[in-house]
Amino acid sequence: MSLAAGLSSKLLTVSEPSPHVLHIQLARAPVNAFSTEFWTAYGALFDRITRERRDVRAVVVSSAFPKVFSAGIDVKEGLSGGPEAADDARASLDLYHHLHEFQSAIGAPQRCPVPVIAAIHGLTVGLGIDLISACDVRYAADNAQFTIKARLPGPSSKTLFFAEVDVGLAADIGTLAFLPKITGNHSLMHELAYTARFFSAAEALQLGLVSQVVPGGQEGVVAAALKLAKSIAGKSPVAVAGTKRVLNHSRDHSVAENLEYVAAWNAAALRTDDIPESLRAAQTRTAPNYKPLHKSKL
């Protein structure tokens, strides 16, 4: 049975392009604007992959639409309002819990035990940057454009963009939490956050938001991301899962704390059958045959 069996929905298309690799395509027409239904489904998909313990070893996320990765949050839904709470305190608590659920869904790749690679092409707006920031590796097509602004339908079928910084808000779903941790150009990161101006794939590379800029638009960047995913999937699942855990721990802890963490991890990991299997494969010049990381719950 394919690892992708039963995972696709009207909003997310899932395939298995190579063994142990899942390709998730964002597919909410026309521009992957995130409604509550969409971001809930996105987070639930990653949690389901983890919960069912499918033998997935790498994941690629891209868009089904060549000219846009994501237009960000569906502002029309956000502006539609909802039932009024009894008082301001209760309304604030309701919004607080809603934002936490939203953050958790978009940050789901961080909980995924295997590397998640974003293949970015076309336009990435607002929430789209939150989404890619939660992925482990980010490749951009040479036609990619980015902005921390939100997208708003304007008059006469025109599209307007506004920045949270222009209307009294701070971006709250992940961009401001992740960018200082995952980028290396402190000055440029602050400039882009304060101005919310558009920036190119070349600037994203300069910022450290992406690690490669790939020619060929959607087709080129997806092919490059899938090639990387296939390479990762061929390595020891124990080693890759451990590396992701240790890297994520390092981001939020001191060097001393992380050294203690990796010592505890490797004290167990050194007992893995993957080590003799790796040596056997190297000696015989054959591909290693690693066991699944977990017993499937399917």
Residue 79's pLDDT is what?
46
Question: Cβ contacts of residue 85 below 8 Å, gap of 6+?
Answer: 91, 94
158 and 244 together in one domain:
no
Split into its structural domains, the chain has a count of: 2
**Residue 101 belongs to a domain:** yes
How far the first Cα of the chain sits from its last, in Å, is 10
Has this prediction a pTM greater than 0.95?
A: no
Residue 138: CB atoms within 10 Å? 24
Side chain identity at residue 180, one-letter code: P
Give me the domain span that covers residue 123.
12-233
Residue 156's pLDDT is what?
46
Burial string for 259-280 (b: 16+ CB within 10 Å, else e) reads: eeebeebeeebeebebeeebee
**Selected residue with higher pLDDT from 213 and 280:** 213
**Residue 87 belongs to a domain:** yes
Residue 77's pLDDT is what?
67
32-63 per-position pLDDT tens digit: 999 999 999 999 999 999 898 889 999 999 99
pLDDT band of 114, cuts 50, 70, 90 = very high
**Selected residue with higher pLDDT from 62 and 79:** 62
By DSSP bridging, strand 12-18 and strand 21-26 are antiparallel
Which of 8-22, 46-60, 70-84, 187-201 shows the highest mean pLDDT? 8-22
* Tokens encoding 140: 């951009």
138 and 153 together in one domain:
yes
**Selected residue with higher pLDDT from 190 and 165:** 190
132 and 248 together in one domain:
no
126-143 per-position pLDDT tens digit: 889 999 999 999 999 999
pLDDT band of 149, cuts 50, 70, 90 = confident
Residue 12's pLDDT is what?
97
CATH number of the domain where residue 76 is located? 3.90.226.10
148 and 269 together in one domain:
no
Residue 154's pLDDT is what?
47
**Selected residue with higher pLDDT from 23 and 160:** 23
**Residues 25 and 119: beta-carbon distance below 8 Å:** no
